[in-house]
């Protein structure tokens, strides 16, 4: 039994930075599970991806002005994310360009701008930290930030839950009964930006979106209701965070990609073995449950 402890618990018992990283990634998972579920249900997975890039110039501007200051980078990232959401909404309303296309255009601009800004002052190591995160960067203030983000996210989702579900499912109906769907949409996008910013310290700006999307796409193969999908996604995100950190510890891998790859494995396993229209379920059981 002692070897089990040695493999699965000792790294966290021994090292403070591992405990910090684990707490951070668990807090992230709690927020990312439900937010990612809604993102996928709204068919906005790629928008989330675009947004994660859009956060970068804000983070970089904070870095350029104040160095590795958590609050400056976080605030800058959040503002940049909100700016891109608002701008892409505006562009799609004023021009024939669809929202996803304008989002894609904006994220390419932001990514280039962000990389440029970081390399103006930092070296390539700093850039790697911002893009892919690092366990060592998770200190007490970062932990508080991530915990705050996930608390705020869960509280906000509790209030927004019903309008969000209806807005995803039948936005025309919600508008007809005056349910305030576009307000819910804007607040939700702000939550997405917030979670991406919360994740950049542990996972990096490029990887943070992985913990949003992959658990949610995996959960779709296990659960049949919005709330149960969100719960499953949270569980998968928690598992991915834990095993990803272990993998990154033992094999000396960057934590962000390790966690996201673990989530990716969960996604592929779900794709094949998930009871709700997974490949194996469809092929061998021959049923297509609702």
**At closest approach, how far in Å is the CB of 62 from another protein?**
35
Among residues 9 and 279, whose Cβ is nearest to another protein? 279
Using CB under 8 A, list all residues that contact another protein. Answer: 41, 159-160, 162-163, 165-166, 168-180, 220, 223-226, 229, 290
Contact status, residue 201 vs residue 28, Cβ threshold 8 Å: no
**At closest approach, how far in Å is the CB of 37 from another protein?**
10
Among residues 69 and 92, whose Cβ is nearest to another protein? 92
**At closest approach, how far in Å is the CB of 290 from another protein?**
4
Please give the full DSSP string across 222-254, using - where no structure is assigned.
Answer: T-SSHHHHHHHHHHHHHHHHHHHHHHHHHTT--
Token pair 């892919």 is found at: 132
Q: What angle do CA 127, 128, 131 make, to 5 degrees?
A: 85
Q: What angle do CA 201, 136, 114 make, to 5 degrees?
A: 35
**At closest approach, how far in Å is the CB of 117 from another protein?**
38
Kindly state the DSSP code that residue 273 receives in the 8-state scheme.
H
Among residues 193 and 223, whose Cβ is nearest to another protein? 223
Separation of alpha carbons 268 and 280, rounded Å: 12
**At closest approach, how far in Å is the CB of 154 from another protein?**
16
Among residues 75 and 161, whose Cβ is nearest to another protein? 161
Among residues 23 and 165, whose Cβ is nearest to another protein? 165
Among residues 185 and 220, whose Cβ is nearest to another protein? 220
Among residues 229 and 248, whose Cβ is nearest to another protein? 229
Query: What are the residues whose beta carbons fall under 8 Å from the beta carbon of 84, sequence distance 6 or more?
Result: 50, 51, 54, 103, 106, 107, 110
């Amino acid at each position: 039994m002692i070897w089990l402890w040695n493999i699965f618990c000792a790294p966290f018992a021994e090292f403070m930075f591992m405990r910090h990283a684990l707490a951070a990634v668990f807090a992230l998972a709690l927020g990312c599970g439900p937010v990612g579920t809604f993102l996928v249900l709204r068919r906005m997975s790629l928008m989330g991806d675009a947004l994660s890039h859009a956060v970068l110039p804000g983070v970089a501007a904070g870095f350029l002005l104040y160095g590795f200051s958590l609050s400056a980078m976080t605030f800058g990232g959040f503002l940049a994310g909100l700016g891109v959401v608002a701008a892409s909404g505006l562009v799609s309303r004023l021009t024939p360009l669809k929202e996803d296309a304008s989002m894609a255009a904006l994220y390419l601009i932001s990514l280039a701008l962000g990389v440029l800004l970081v390399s103006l002052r930092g070296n390539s190591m700093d850039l790697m930290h911002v893009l892919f995160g690092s366990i060592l960067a998770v200190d007490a203030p970062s932990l508080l930030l991530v915990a705050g983000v996930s608390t705020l996210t869960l509280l906000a989702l509790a209030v927004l839950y019903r309008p969000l579900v209806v807005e995803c499912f039948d936005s025309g109906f919600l508008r007809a009964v005056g349910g305030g769907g576009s307000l819910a949409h804007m607040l939700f996008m702000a939550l997405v930006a917030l979670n991406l910013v919360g994740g950049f310290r542990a996972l990096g700006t490029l990887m943070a979106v992985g913990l949003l999307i992959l658990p949610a796409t995996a959960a779709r193969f296990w659960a049949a209701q919005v709330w149960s999908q969100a719960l499953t996604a949270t569980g998968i995100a928690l598992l991915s965070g834990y095993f990803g950190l272990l993998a990154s510890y033992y094999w000396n891998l960057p934590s962000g990609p390790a966690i996201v790859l673990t989530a990716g494995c969960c996604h592929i396993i779900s794709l094949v073995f998930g009871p709700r229209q997974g490949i194996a379920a469809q092929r061998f059981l021959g049923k297509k449950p609702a």
